[in-house]
Amino acid sequence: MKDTRIFKLGSFVLLPMAFLLLASCALAQTPQATPPPPAAPRSVQFPKPVDKTLPNGLRVIVVQRTQLPLVTAQVLIKSGGEVDPSDLAGAADMTASLLTRGTATRTATQIAEAVEALGGSIGSGGGWDASTITTSVMSSRIDPALAILSDVVRNPAFQDEEIERLRRQYLNNLRVALGTPGSIARFVAARVVFRDAPYGHPLSGTPESVPRLKRDDIVRLHGMYYRPDNVILVIGGDIAPKDGFALAEKYFGDWTRPATELPPFQVGTPVSDASTRRILVIDKPDAGQTAVLFARTGINRTSPDYFRGIVSNAILSGYSGRLNWEIRVKRGLSYGAGSSFDMRRWSGAFTASVQTKNESGAEVASLTVSEVSGLGTRDLPDSEMTTRKASLLGGFARGMETINGMVSQVSSLALYGVSLDEINRYVANVQAIKADEVKNFAATHLNTGNVIVVGDAKKFLPALQKEFPQVEVIPVAELDLNSASLRRQTSKN
């Protein structure tokens, strides 16, 4: 059942699509030698989410789609890894993960049994700005599934035994992640961009912070942030809004809002600039491939530059985006190159990432920097704008075609307080962006950035130093993810 497939392009997700159209390029007429032109396009409407706030402050959103008898329900706690105390990286993620591992009346195994017996699934975890608990079931089983969803959010037991079990799992997962060049590069990039600010640590903690986390820390975090006025419940799929609202009332309506004020969001993150730019090599001599990451601060999700940002990214990323085109298609240097804006409550990061053989680490690093920083200066023809926007819109529409994709899109808008109508304005907003706006945006927001290269340094370091004189090298054994210096201060192992 779990088949082994090797794709033309990796990280392919089986998302479908819906469609919208654009300038259909007029193609020539000869039937065999040139492609037949497209017929007239059909337009598409995305479902309209309906929302309501319960008296206790909990916001409920229902988005109905009835083709298949499936429902996904997601609880968002509007606090995630950004609220981790600075010495307790991983606290929010671990708190969220523990929810499904035991409540006052159900053990971890009973929770899994109950949901899986319905043919469904339940999972929880921390993001940066939110913690999520999600269940998916056949629509006929949504009532018992929501009963469990409510129980795990409201009444987690946080038993010592489960905390210890999860702690060991986190430490094992970290060992594997720290053996993987791409994961190391992402951990390091967060520290380089955000330094000691809230987004700087690994979301699931470090080998040093995970052992420090105590039950009290978890109980305190749950008590502070898991309250109805800090929650959004999104229910999507084969369910009518009135039924969704009734279920929300049934399982979350009697959850009391505490009298205390919700803690304010923490202050935003520092912005990196040219003067703090780092070119950092993590030397991992046994790496089978080198991971190259370009990273810098990005923009907020609510920034007026949002659409300029995502269109700029679409020029760079995707199969025929500039990065993959230059690095994979033209030069055969990688299986895939791409970039993304992770737009958060405070400026998230922009990252471009590529993996290549150790020997071509330096060449790929300079190509990546050149393509990203070149977006603001090089020519950007309208034809490129048209095709890259089409690709962006297609991806959006495909994402909306599954219930899980639709729920995650709605959740993301709701989390950042963006109007839910944006779903049906998305196409127009993207189409409105002009080439000049992209270039101006890129000249300010993508002009420079940090470079992180993780791999067998002896194979690329001399070439990299020619291109970037300020290279810092940290042997992987001396890497310390707990501080912005990234280097273990005392130990010499």
Partner 1 sequence: MRRSPISKLAACLMILAALATANAQTKFPRINFRQRMLANGLRVLSVVDKSSPTVAINVWYHVGSKDDPEQRSGFAHLFEHIMFKATRNMKDEMMDRLTEDVGGSNNAFTQDDVTVYFEIVPSNYLETLLWAEADRLSGLTVNEAAFHSERAVVEEEFRQSVLAPPYGKFFYLLDQKSFNAHPYKRPTIGSIEDLEAATLENVQKFHETYYRPDNATLLVVGDFDPKQLDAWVDKYFASIPKPNLPLPRVEAKEPPRTGEKRFVEYGKNVPLSAVGLTYLVPDERSDDAPALELTDIILSRGRSSRLYQSLVYQQQIAQSANANADLREDAGIFQLTAIIAAGKKPEDAEASLRAEIKKLQDAPVSAAELEKAKNQIITSQLRQLETNNGKALALGQAGVLRGDPNRVNSDLERLQAVTAADVQRVAKKYFTDENRYVIYYLPESARAPSGSENKNHPGNQSKGANAQ
Give the interface segment with partner 1, choosing from 19-27, 84-92, 244-252, 415-423 (CB under 8 A). 19-27
Structure tokens at 469: 């004189």
Residue with smaller CB distance to partner 1, 54 or 73: 73
Shortest gap between Cβ of 455 and partner 1 (angstroms)? 9
Sign of CA dihedral 244, 133, 153, 227: negative
* Residues 460-479 within binding reach of partner 1 (CB under 8 A): none
User: Can you say how many angstroms the Cα of residue 389 is from the centroid of all Cα atoms in its chain?
Assistant: 21
Give the interface segment with partner 1, choosing from 2-10, 47-55, 224-232, 270-278 (CB under 8 A). 2-10
Distance CA 259, CA 265 (A): 18
User: Can you say how many angstroms the Cα of residue 341 is from the centroid of all Cα atoms in its chain?
Assistant: 9
Distance CA 313, CA 307 (A): 10
* Residues 351-370 within binding reach of partner 1 (CB under 8 A): 355-357
Select from 201, 308, 328, 345 the one that contacts partner 1 (CB under 8 A). Answer: 328
Shortest gap between Cβ of 181 and partner 1 (angstroms)? 6
Give the interface segment with partner 1, choosing from 48-56, 195-203, 296-304, 350-358 (CB under 8 A). 350-358
Distance CA 291, CA 133 (A): 32
Shortest gap between Cβ of 182 and partner 1 (angstroms)? 7
Contact yes or no for 407/236 (Cβ under 8 A)? yes
Residue with smaller CB distance to partner 1, 191 or 328: 328
Residues binding partner 1: number (CB under 8 A): 100
Residue with smaller CB distance to partner 1, 33 or 274: 33
Give the interface segment with partner 1, choosing from 148-156, 271-279, 303-311, 328-336 (CB under 8 A). 328-336
Query: Could you tell me where the beta strands, DSSP code E, fall in 118-187?
Result: 121-126, 131-138
Q: Is 26 in the site for partner 1 (CB under 8 A)?
A: no
C-alpha distances (whole Å) from 383 to each of 23, 265, 323, 374, 388 are 10, 42, 17, 18, 9
Structure tokens at 327: 């690095």
Contact yes or no for 305/441 (Cβ under 8 A)? yes
The CA-CA-CA angle for residues 225, 227, 233, to 5°, reads 105
Shortest gap between Cβ of 217 and partner 1 (angstroms)? 22
Based on C-alpha coordinates, what's the Rg of the chain? Answer: 24
Residue with smaller CB distance to partner 1, 54 or 438: 438
Which helix (H) or strand (E) covers residue 152, if one does? helix 142-154
Give the interface segment with partner 1, choosing from 84-92, 270-278, 330-338, 372-380 (CB under 8 A). 330-338
Q: Is 493 in the site for partner 1 (CB under 8 A)?
A: no
Shortest gap between Cβ of 138 and partner 1 (angstroms)? 5
Residue with smaller CB distance to partner 1, 6 or 274: 6
Contact yes or no for 350/340 (Cβ under 8 A)? yes
Q: Is 458 in the site for partner 1 (CB under 8 A)?
A: no
- Per the listing, tokens 């606290």 go with 91
The CA-CA-CA angle for residues 436, 440, 445, to 5°, reads 145
Shortest gap between Cβ of 19 and partner 1 (angstroms)? 4
* Residues 146-165 within binding reach of partner 1 (CB under 8 A): 165
Contact yes or no for 87/198 (Cβ under 8 A)? no
Site string for partner 1, 30-69 (x = CB under 8 A): -xxxxxxxxxxxxxx----------------------xxx
Q: Is 22 in the site for partner 1 (CB under 8 A)?
A: yes
Strand, helix or coil at 186?
Answer: helix
Which helix (H) or strand (E) covers residue 64, if one does? strand 59-64
Q: Which residues contact 483 (CB under 8 A, 6 or more apart)?
A: 191, 196
* Residues 83-142 within binding reach of partner 1 (CB under 8 A): 100, 108-109, 112-113, 116-121, 136-141
Residue with smaller CB distance to partner 1, 228 or 237: 237
Select from 266, 366, 391, 412 the one that contacts partner 1 (CB under 8 A). Answer: 391
Structure tokens at 480: 């310390």
* Residues 241-300 within binding reach of partner 1 (CB under 8 A): 286-289, 291
Contact yes or no for 486/474 (Cβ under 8 A)? yes
Residue with smaller CB distance to partner 1, 37 or 263: 37
Distance CA 122, CA 115 (A): 7
Distance CA 400, CA 274 (A): 38
Site string for partner 1, 162-191 (x = CB under 8 A): ---x--xx-xxx-xx-xxxxx---------
Shortest gap between Cβ of 264 and partner 1 (angstroms)? 36
Residue with smaller CB distance to partner 1, 42 or 492: 42
